[in-house]
Chain A
């Protein structure tokens, strides 16, 4: 664009940037808010704002690939007769059949089982694809209770009571009719093709005192064998953690705002909840004050992408992490090989998030049988297994560099922050200083 010499160069507003303008125009044209899948896309303080202090003089590193660095984790030893023992602290987060295709659920099970970790069901119940291919399967107990079945409760390995998720703490589900096939509808006891508005809170209890009794009921039904997880969307992690401990949880899952969802309002995804990084220290503090750190395990999720993210979450006090979006990408979601088809949908590889429309070219977030057939669950499962192995190796690499013989020996002392806000949030010193904002260290 050429600008005449008598005119100033046009500039876009920082407030009304092109995306904001397009959203206003879209809303004015359609009369409905934007719905999409995925998690928060805007920049928030995250794990890349932290750095590890590798061993040098004051710390002694372990020999890479030679000296052992353990990665296993036990979840749910507080009350359950059969706690879960995983080989890696990276679990697969709950994602529903309905949101995902059956082949995608199978692939998740294959990939997770190959490396010794767990998968999780989602809203809509348990499918044979995932039970059949997941060595360790966590069964979600959700507010909607879609597909809730005591037989499945008895054949799972752990129960996750979902109170909220990071993309939408306080929000209910929104699986639109395009993805409600006959099978999905039948599993949820609803007609095919209609929008499903799942409730935002559990229908038969009203707060932490009731949660304690609900947990007791689930334990009684399953003869106290299975660990009980409680999952919350990150918003008030200190209090939610303390109340979950009080309610009798074996494991607490905290999902930050970068955590994904099948479909929710864009304005909700980007404006409700707090970043994953900000959720960890308050939760750990609550556990420590109650004397329950490492006794009640803490799983952190929401925007986990690589081994460094995992190592940092563990160093800040988590026992394990969950991945959802990253697992879908490993299966083949947003692959550049599908660029032409993404463009035909008005988007591009790397930005596709209209999962609710059910037209996913990768065959992952769809119930269209033709599209779903595109995903080879064996191949996709192998890709996920590769990715999970890489994540585990990366965590080990960092842990050895910090002189740790087990990844759970990582600690806040191993970290510094690149920014003042990350230092304050993660409660580690600003890099090059001994200053933790808001804290007197000496």
Chain B
């Protein structure tokens, strides 16, 4: 297994090696040691490799990931898996703010807590947080699913579009145009499938979750809604 030690090599060398891989590569398992909180580790990967990162990472780890499965055995800084297109990113510790921001696809799993603005402007990514999330999470979320086992902070789903939020714990407050919605059988099935994809099948009852989405009151500008803009 190719292994990089970021105590002696650079992030540039790591990313360059990963970018030079072709989709049919046989080198599908990679490892990074001593990430030491460095930024932009494993960004822009465009091939179906498995990458294990043993330690804490800084900003934007796995940014714009496509196809790869990346596991971070530690905490992640701001914007982990930002704008991910496909593949999987698994943070085995906590994540800082803006986790999965603007993500268009793929699955982001966070074993611990995620800070503010988790899933901000998400555009199709699925995010599963086993702990709690901070304020303004899923702000302007357009598509995809945010599943939270713990609690959610203030202004959850503010100005949300067509994304869906499932929360098992308490929600401190909902943002503008975000409302609780009854779960349809399709919603239950989607949540169940998500738990299964994250290896969490049976870890919680579907009925323990409450679902939130857009009231669609802000979809067309109207002066009566001015306080919400």
Chain A positions near chain B (C-beta within 8 angstroms): 30-32, 144-145, 148-151, 153-154, 176-177, 188-191, 194-195, 197, 199, 203-205, 210, 213-214, 216-217, 220-224
| Contact among A31, A144, A148 with B223 in the assembled complex (CB-CB below 8 Å) | A31
In the complex, A401 Cα to B223 Cα: how many Å?
A: 56
Q: Which of A32, A214, A221 contacts B44 (CB 8 A)?
A: A221
Known: A32-B221, A190-B162, A195-B220. A210 touches B40 (CB 8 A): no
Measured CB to CB, the closest approach of chain B to A26, in angstroms, equals 13
A148-B102, A204-B79 as given contacts; A217 in contact with B120, CB under 8 Å: no
Partner of B78 from the list A30, A154, A204 (CB cut-off 8 Å) is A204
A224 and B11 alpha carbons, distance in the complex (Å): 12
CA–CA, A205 and B140, complex, Å: 16
A-B contact pairs, 22 of them (CB 8 A): A145-B83, A145-B102, A145-B123, A148-B102, A149-B85, A153-B44, A189-B142, A190-B142, A190-B161, A197-B229, A203-B121, A203-B140, A204-B79, A204-B117, A205-B78, A213-B40, A213-B60, A213-B78, A217-B39, A217-B40, A221-B40, A222-B44
Choice from A177, A203, A222 contacting B98 with Cβ under 8 Å? A203
Please count how many residues in chain B sit with their CB below 8 Å of the partner chain's CB atoms: 44
Q: Tell me which of A32, A199, A217 contacts B63 (CB under 8 A).
A: A217
Q: Does B139 contact A (CB under 8 A)?
A: yes
Contact between B46 and A189 (Cβ–Cβ < 8 Å)?
no
In the complex, what residues of A have CB within 8 A of residue B15's CB?
220-221, 223
CB of B82 closer than 8 Å to a CB of A: yes
- Interface membership of chain B positions 55-82, coded 1 if the CB is closer than 8 angstroms to chain A and 0 otherwise: 0001110011010000000000011001
A210 to B60, CA, bound (A): 11
B124 at the interface (CB under 8 A from A): yes
B25-63 vs A: 1/0 string, CB under 8 Å? 000000000000001100110100000000000111001
Residue on A with the closest CB to B44? A221
Tell me if B147 counts as interface (CB < 8 A to partner A). no
Task: Enumerate chain A residues within 8 angstroms of B219, measured Cβ to Cβ.
Answer: 177, 191, 194-195
Contact with A along B148-176 (1 / 0, CB 8 A): 00000000000101100000000000000
State whether the Cβ of B16 lies closer than 8 Å to any Cβ in chain A.
Answer: yes
Partner of B101 from A32, A197, A204, A210 at Cβ < 8 Å: A204
Q: Is A189 touching B104 in the complex (CB atoms < 8 A)? A: yes
B188 to A: closest C-beta gap in Å: 23
How many Å lie between the Cα of A421 and that of B208 in the bound state? 67
Alpha-carbon distance A151/B85, docked complex (angstroms)? 10
Contacts of B218 in A (CB 8 A): 195, 197
Contacts of A144 in B (CB 8 A): 121
* B12 nearest CB across to chain A (Å): 7
Taken together as a complex, chains A and B put the C-alpha atoms of A144 and B143 apart, in Å, by 14
CA distance A242 to B177 in the complex (A): 39
How many angstroms from the CA of A176 to the CA of B97 in the assembled complex?
Answer: 30
How far is the CB of B98 from the nearest CB of chain A, in Å?
4
Distance of A177 Cα from B15 Cα, bound (Å): 40
**Docked pose: A191 CA to B142 CA in angstroms:** 9
Whether A213 and B59, one on each chain, are in contact in the complex, defined by CB atoms closer than 8 angstroms, is yes
B43 touches A217 (CB 8 A): yes
Q: Report yes or no: A153 in contact with B221, Cβ–Cβ below 8 A.
A: no
Residues in B whose Cβ lies below 8 Å from that of A216: 39-40
A-side contacts of B64, CB under 8 Å: 150, 153, 221
B19, A149: Cβ atoms closer than 8 Å: no
Q: How far is the CA of A393 from the CA of B223 in the complex (A)?
A: 50
- Which 4 A-B pairs have CB atoms at the shortest separation, nearest pair first? A221-B44, A204-B79, A204-B98, A31-B223
The smallest beta-carbon distance between A106 and chain B, in angstroms, is 25
In the complex, given contacts A30-B223, A145-B83, what are 17 additional A-B residue pairs having Cβ atoms less than 8 angstroms apart? A32-B223, A148-B83, A151-B46, A153-B44, A176-B221, A188-B142, A189-B142, A189-B143, A190-B142, A195-B219, A195-B220, A197-B229, A203-B117, A205-B98, A213-B60, A221-B64, A223-B15
Q: Pick the contact of B85: A150, A190, A195, A203 (CB < 8 A).
A: A150
Task: Select which of A32, A190, A204 is within 8 A of B102 by beta carbon.
Answer: A204
| Cα of A326 to Cα of B64 in the assembled complex, Å | 35
Contacts of A149 in B (CB 8 A): 85, 104
Q: What is the CB-to-nearest-CB distance from B175 to chain A, in angstroms, rounded to a whole number? A: 13
Task: Name the distance in Å between B13's Cβ and chain A's nearest Cβ.
Answer: 11
Knowing A203-B117, A204-B101, the reply to whether A210 touches B223 (Cβ < 8 A) is no
Q: How far is the CA of A176 from the CA of B40 in the complex (A)?
A: 35
* Chain A residue nearest to B61 in the complex (CB): A217
Shortest Cβ distance from B77 into chain A, in angstroms? 9
B46 to chain A, nearest CB (A): 7
Nearest chain B CB to A36's CB is how many angstroms away?
14
Whether the Cβ atoms of A213 and B19 lie closer than 8 Å is: no
Q: How far does the alpha carbon of A177 sit from the alpha carbon of B120 in the complex, in Å?
A: 22
Partner of B43, one of A176, A199, A221, A224: A221
For residue A32, which residues in chain B have a CB less than 8 angstroms away from its CB? 221, 223
How far is B215's CA from A194's CA once the two chains are assembled, in angstroms? Answer: 13
* Closest residue on chain B to residue A191 by CB atoms: B162
**A203 close to B143 (CB less than 8 A):** no
In the complex, what distance in Å separates the CA atom of A188 from the CA atom of B220?
17
Q: Which residue of B lies closest to A177 (CB)?
A: B220
Interface pair B159/A197, CB less than 8 Å apart? yes
Task: Report if A210-B78 is in contact (Cβ < 8 Å); known contacts: A150-B66, A204-B101, A217-B59.
Answer: yes
List of A residues within 8 angstroms of B40 by Cβ: 213, 216-217, 220-221
Return B41 CB to nearest CB of chain A, in Å: 9
Q: Which of A30, A195, A204 has a CB less than 8 Å from the CB of B82?
A: A204
